[in-house]
Chain A
């Protein structure tokens, strides 16, 4: 499988991305490829630039130089709200749901980019709008079942347990029907059992839905158990790239995590 995908053009390509905040170089020429059907783990100590890179991918930041290609086309001219239509969905580090809306409505918003409407047609509830709503509802119901959210589907999100809200966020991102799903520290704040659960979920999203996954994560156990490939950042540079086994043996990675001359 690895050999198969390596020859194909990458689905998402990060090319020498540089980001500076004032005098600080947050990302210093980061480059890696993400192939279709891969799970890529992006790791690194605090302040390594993982979230900065993530925000470049979802177009909240624009790199000073370098490029990001999706299916061979640069995405840097696109605005953040164009990304779902291109095929890139994301989750947020601290769960960014729509608190006063129900679980179902949160997931429906995920289908926003995949549907069309205007104020006028919506206000008059025209027949074509009704047909589209029925299609959206079918998608959303399927995702509610897939993520086991049936019991809470019609409750407002605020007040739901953290683990449940994380799943709502993944369901919402899947409603985009993404080609690539960016997950920003999905294991943060979860207990041991929930992390194991999450690992199985991420694998099943890749296996059953054919979604390519970029996983930014602190939880080593999770990253090493499900990733096909791991990219390690430290102080804005890529210090290693390879399979989980290769990366774990890499002396630079061990130094970055356990403290070497850089610390």
Chain B
């Protein structure tokens, strides 16, 4: 009896306050109707399938160099996906993911070069090693937040390439000389050239990585990570072991980036410490922000941005390519400050609103 009155009263209270409150009024307008919501999901699914078909057919129409570029785009996308789990979902900032990329790349290269391990086996090993490195780095990072964490991760990005140059490790890393890797052929007599094969391998790994990330975000673990991002004390009071989850988020994020690094080493066929300067870490952050922080599909667009836009800038002006790149970036941030993810969300909201009124 009392429950009944409570709930109806409460509902009325909610309705009246939603209608009158200024913030509530906006929300009330954008209340997703079930039909509109499923319409949006349909648009997203159609777009996803179209992208996948493009992705599957592209290597048969493009030249080898473009295929290589598309492969690198996917690789950066996987790395940005990892960064997104850490920054977008868990709210921890990293300016040092280039370091995990480098560790993954060196793991793969050393295993192939020194121990003759098959390239496919290097990927899980690079992932596991980077998970451990990331988790261990995440432990001291627990004491740091915001810009202080950014500085600590910045240090990681600066130090790591130097470590690979050190003489005690030279036997394995070949120091500044770097390591040359031979390009793998397509297995099982598949009618693909090596570039096409590596492209499809990367695409498959990228898809698995994306599906896993999506599952993770939509699960108990993902909700715990987002709860920590939004309010760590309240998350703790709900039973979330914030220290453990933050360290694990660092580990998983590094795992993604490490697998990307290993793939990158195999695809580029050469690594040296100077392939992984601080610029790489910054590029990954740029890709994250351009794609949309917290929006997982944004990783693909972020990867495309950091792969292709510098080239476009170079074509526009050879001498001032850096300046042009910077200008494009500033324009992007003015035009879509929330990244492509934010733009898409706004567009879909506007679309569903129009379909409701029209």
Q: Which residues of A contact B (CB under 8 A)?
A: 58, 60, 80-85, 90, 92, 96-101, 105, 108-110, 112-115, 117-119, 122-125, 129, 132-133, 136, 145-152, 154-155, 159-161, 163-164, 167, 172, 176, 193-194, 197, 200-201, 203-204, 207-208
A197, B11: Cβ atoms closer than 8 Å:
no
| A205–B196 CA distance with the chains assembled, in angstroms | 62
Instruction: Check if B8 is an interface residue, CB within 8 A of chain A.
Output: yes
Q: A112-B224, A119-B216 are in contact. Are A208 and B242 (CB under 8 A)?
A: no
Q: How large is the interface on B (under 10, 10 to 19, 20 to 34, 35 or more residues)?
A: 35 or more
| A22–B294 CA distance with the chains assembled, in angstroms | 42
Among B10, B14, B239, chain A packs the most CB atoms within 10 A around the CB of B239
In B232-290, the 8 Å CB interface with A consists of 233-242, 248, 252
Chain B residue contacts of A129, Cβ below 8 A: 219-220
Chain A residue contacts of B15, Cβ below 8 A: 151
Instruction: Check if B17 is an interface residue, CB within 8 A of chain A.
Output: yes
What is the number of contacts between chain A and chain B, taking CB atoms within 8 Å? 171
Q: A172-B238, A197-B10 are in contact. Are A123 and B18 (CB under 8 A)?
A: no
A148, B252: Cβ atoms closer than 8 Å:
no
A164, B224: Cβ atoms closer than 8 Å:
no
| A225–B129 CA distance with the chains assembled, in angstroms | 61
B235, A109: Cβ atoms closer than 8 Å:
yes
Task: Give the distance to chain A from B258, nearest Cβ to Cβ, in Å.
Answer: 15
A176, B219: Cβ atoms closer than 8 Å:
no
Among A114, A124, A148, chain B packs the most CB atoms within 10 A around the CB of A148
A-B contact pairs, 5 of them (CB 8 A): A81-B236, A81-B237, A92-B237, A100-B229, A200-B9
Q: Is the interface of B mostly helix, strand, loop or mixed?
A: helix
Q: A155-B27, A160-B27 are in contact. Are A146 and B237 (CB under 8 A)?
A: no
A98, B215: Cβ atoms closer than 8 Å:
no
Task: Give the distance to chain B from A79, nearest Cβ to Cβ, in Å.
Answer: 8
A204, B230: Cβ atoms closer than 8 Å:
no
Chain B residue contacts of A150, Cβ below 8 A: 11
Task: Give the distance to chain B from A237, nearest Cβ to Cβ, in Å.
Answer: 27
A96, B14: Cβ atoms closer than 8 Å:
no
Q: Is the interface of A mostly helix, strand, loop or mixed?
A: helix
Q: Which residues of B contact A (CB under 8 A)?
A: 2-3, 5-11, 13-15, 17-18, 21, 23-24, 26-27, 31-32, 37, 212-213, 215-216, 219-224, 226-227, 229-231, 233-242, 248, 252, 294
Which residue of A109, A146, A152 contacts B224 across the interface (Cβ within 8 Å)? A109
Chain B residue contacts of A147, Cβ below 8 A: 7, 10
Task: Give the distance to chain B from A132, nearest Cβ to Cβ, in Å.
Answer: 8
A201, B237: Cβ atoms closer than 8 Å:
no
Q: Which B-chain residue is minimally distant from A159 (CB atoms)? A: B23
Q: Which B-chain residue is minimally distant from A110 (CB atoms)? A: B238
Chain B residue contacts of A204, Cβ below 8 A: 2-3, 6
Among B17, B32, B213, B238, chain A packs the most CB atoms within 10 A around the CB of B238
B239, A176: Cβ atoms closer than 8 Å:
yes
Which residue of B227, B233, B242 contacts A109 across the interface (Cβ within 8 Å)? B227
Task: Give the distance to chain A from B107, nearest Cβ to Cβ, in Å.
Answer: 21
Among B13, B24, B216, B220, chain A packs the most CB atoms within 10 A around the CB of B220
